[in-house]
């Protein structure tokens, strides 16, 4: 891979009208150099007001409907707005298909132009043809961003960057299936990286500017020779990238941990994607697997651990030579915190509420440790399947008597958000222990309610910490420092976040 510069310019995109206080701008990391104002979504914003809250440079963008934006006005009116913006903004985004006309180019000098194309999935030939259109006028930056629905479609943007070898072009894929490419593009020569000022929908697949810095170490570019990541249907709010990437930096491991959003596991686990990443000089070496792909991950591996086989699901894939090992750290995630509290689970009655992959692995772990385990699930079909697979008793959630158990594990996405609890904490037996697998920016309502009743509680962040450290060890052969990782999680709890999105991660 060719040598690249050690840093890139960070651009934070504003897609909502800023608040009167401008707190979303003042909260941006100090290393963000540009704010891109999506005027087609934000409307008319006084750049003077923005500059009072942000010390960097401003980029004006008026994305048309033809390129996925909201502006649908006449072309002449569009050009007037672009020319007017050039008087007060540092950069102006021009769409190659409609804005490269003499009147606009005469009023906006090359060093202040961003020439863009946003469209549908493209192959290498499409990128080459599109660049010919963009390259008709000189610019500070050329931006090519197709929207994709499958992981393999996103790969072409990165292959194009490597083929091109230019320092004034960025190419990456938009959409949930393409988010990861925006994180690799700077490592392949793109001079900038884009993140949102604020995240919008919980599962839109966006990366915030704050995440670019905290989770992925930008704008610095450390060497990357191997890729790891997390794959699931919703991964953009996962805390795992922050933990793993910080540990790579501390241990000087030349690796990067990415979020792969895929509706089907096969979208990522294809020969095309894995071979393509290897050809880029960054082979995929390991994956954390979350809902709904744990069963598919188990089936994909040539070798599986006994606990993963018994649970019928894997949450970790690691390459071993030419083969892949499937295993699960869900079992250790529930037992290790109990051992740290000197809780002996042998002969204790344990209820595991939720029969997805994490719940089945937890149940298998407790059973192996000598506990008397009962599976509990709202859906009868999945509950009975888990009971048959594990050879354990099953109780429908409607018949669940929570007071009969010394340890209750919540392995459902419900943790009291929106008033929906997996069980009534008021019915817990005296001295009962609650283990909540839901990971959020702060303790969940279930955790807080159980603690208020003086129960011992293990929350999802503690479980995540155990699992992340174990996964890091299996992936890299090195140790992740527990105290440093804990501080990262605690720091995340102070950030603004959408708990409803985070509670869905790592449960099924």
Q: Mind telling me the catalytic residues?
A: 294
Is residue 55 classed as helix, strand or coil in its secondary structure? coil
Record the tokens describing residue 427, joined without a space: 């019915």
* Cα 407 to Cα 461: distance, rounded to the nearest angstrom: 18
User: Are the C-beta atoms of residues 394 and 363 closer than 8 Å to each other?
Assistant: no
- Strand (E) or helix (H) holding 456: strand 456-458
Q: What is the CA radius of gyration of the chain?
A: 25
Cis peptide bond prior to 482, omega within 30° of 0 = no
Closest by CA position to 280, among listed 144, 170, 158: 158
Residue 21 sits at the vertex; the CA angle it makes with 17 and 26, to the nearest 5 degrees, is: 90
Cis peptide bond prior to 420, omega within 30° of 0 = no
Q: DSSP code of 342?
A: T
Closest by CA position to 89, among listed 53, 39, 134, 139: 39
Helix H, strand E, coil C: the string for 175-203 is CHHHHHHHHHHHHHCCCEEEEECCCCCCC
Q: What is the CA 371 to chain-centroid distance, rounded?
A: 35
User: Are the C-beta atoms of residues 265 and 300 closer than 8 Å to each other?
Assistant: yes
Closest by CA position to 47, among listed 98, 99, 90: 90
Record the tokens describing residue 362, joined without a space: 């937890």
Closest by CA position to 245, among listed 484, 3, 449, 51: 484
Rounded (10°) CA dihedral 40, 46, 52, 56: 50
Is residue 56 classed as helix, strand or coil in its secondary structure? coil
Q: Give the neighbor-by-neighbor strand order of the sheet with 407-410.
A: 394-396, 372-377, 349-353, 407-410, 433-436, 456-458
Contacts of 330 (CB under 8 A, 6+ apart): 311, 315, 357, 358, 361, 362, 365, 467
Contacts of 189 (CB under 8 A, 6+ apart): 2, 4, 161, 162, 164, 165, 166, 167, 169
* Cα 226 to Cα 285: distance, rounded to the nearest angstrom: 6
């Amino acid at each position: 891979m060719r040598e690249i510069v050690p840093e890139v310019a960070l651009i934070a995109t504003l897609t909502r009208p800023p608040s009167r206080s401008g707190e979303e701008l003042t909260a941006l990391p100090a290393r963000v150099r540009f704010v891109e104002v999506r005027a087609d979504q934000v409307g008319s914003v006084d750049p003077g007001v923005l500059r009072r809250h942000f010390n960097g440079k401003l980029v004006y963008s008026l994305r048309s409907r033809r390129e996925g934006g909201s502006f649908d006005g006449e072309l002449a009116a569009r050009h007037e707005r672009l020319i007017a913006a050039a008087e007060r903004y540092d950069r102006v985004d021009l769409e190659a298909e409609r804005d490269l006309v003499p009147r606009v180019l005469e009023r906006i000098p090359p060093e202040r132009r961003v020439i863009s194309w946003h469209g549908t999935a493209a192959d290498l030939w499409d990128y080459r043809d599109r660049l010919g259109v963009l390259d008709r006028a000189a610019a500070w930056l050329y931006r090519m961003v197709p929207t994709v629905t499958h992981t393999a479609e996103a790969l072409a943007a990165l292959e194009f960057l490597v083929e091109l070898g230019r320092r004034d072009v960025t190419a990456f894929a938009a959409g949930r299936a393409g988010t990861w490419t925006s994180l690799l593009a700077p490592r392949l020569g793109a001079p900038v990286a884009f993140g949102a000022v604020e995240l919008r929908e919980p599962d839109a697949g966006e990366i915030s500017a704050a995440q670019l810095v905290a989770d992925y170490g930008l704008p610095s570019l450390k060497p990357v020779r191997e890729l790891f990541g997390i794959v699931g249907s919703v991964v953009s709010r996962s805390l795992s990238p922050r933990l793993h990437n910080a540990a790579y930096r501390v241990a000087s491991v030349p690796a990067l941990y990415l979020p792969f959003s895929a509706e089907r596991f096969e979208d990522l686990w294809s020969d095309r994607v894995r071979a393509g990443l290897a050809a880029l000089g960054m082979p995929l070496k390991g994956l954390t697997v979350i809902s709904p792909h744990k069963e598919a991950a188990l089936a994909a591996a040539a070798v599986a651990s006994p606990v993963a086989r018994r649970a019928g699901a894997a949450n970790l894939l690691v390459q071993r030579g030419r083969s892949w090992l499937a295993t699960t750290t869900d079992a250790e995630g529930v037992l290790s915190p109990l051992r740290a509290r000197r809780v002996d689970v042998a002969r204790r009655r344990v209820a595991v509420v939720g029969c997805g992959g994490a719940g089945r692995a937890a149940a298998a772990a407790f059973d192996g440790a000598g506990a008397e385990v009962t599976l509990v699930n709202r859906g009868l079909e999945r509950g009975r399947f888990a009971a048959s697979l594990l050879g354990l008793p099953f109780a429908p959630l409607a018949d669940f008597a929570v007071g009969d158990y010394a340890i209750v594990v919540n392995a459902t996405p419900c943790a009291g958000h929106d008033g929906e609890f997996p069980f009534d904490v008021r019915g817990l037996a005296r001295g009962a222990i609650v283990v909540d697998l839901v990971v959020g920016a702060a303790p969940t309502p279930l955790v807080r309610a159980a603690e208020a009743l003086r129960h011992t509680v293990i929350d999802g962040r503690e479980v995540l910490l155990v699992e992340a450290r174990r996964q890091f060890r299996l992936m890299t052969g090195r140790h992740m420092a527990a105290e440093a990782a804990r501080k990262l999680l605690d720091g995340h709890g102070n950030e603004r976040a959408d708990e409803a999105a985070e509670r869905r991660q790592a449960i099924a």
